[in-house]
Structure 1
């Protein structure tokens, strides 16, 4: 009986020391959670705009690739706010030139 008591006490201490992890509770997203009917384009010669006609509970934002004047390297900027309706805008910073536009989407 003494061995069983030591074993149970050891297991309890291990659970307290290392923590007991529960199962993940987040459900995987389904295709219906993602925005649809999305479009994006150049906006005002130096930025991008993006819009989705149906958010389905998901979100989206515009992204733009800009070319640096000094090195020609591309930089990528995303709009700061996730949207679920309306237009999303983002613009190239000073001393860069618009290269291409895009859209970033997520379910939630």
Structure 2
């Protein structure tokens, strides 16, 4: 996690604490969970402060809006898989079409060669 640490505060509810590597969290059912992030990269902090200043808002709001915009631009993994599958189908069809022969049994290349032969 590149030294990043996630701090979880429990506002209400009960649950089970879970620790994954450097992360400990309490899994809750039906409870409101407030989370804080401790980003240890000075460049990220500077960028967040600059974005907040440009927008005249808080750092939290600037980060929230930037993340929301990026999530909206980024397709879901299932959409990418579907896009890859459609591309593969298209490439398969193009491969099949390139091997088809015309009614006189010549290939497209043979026809082009005959067309432009001198």
TM superposition score category, shorter chain reference: under 0.3
TM-score, structure 2 normalization = 0.20
More helix by share: 2
More strand by share: 1
Quick one: higher RCO (CA 8 Å, sep 6+), 1 or 2?
Answer: 1
* Structure showing greater Rg: 2
TM-score, structure 1 normalization = 0.21
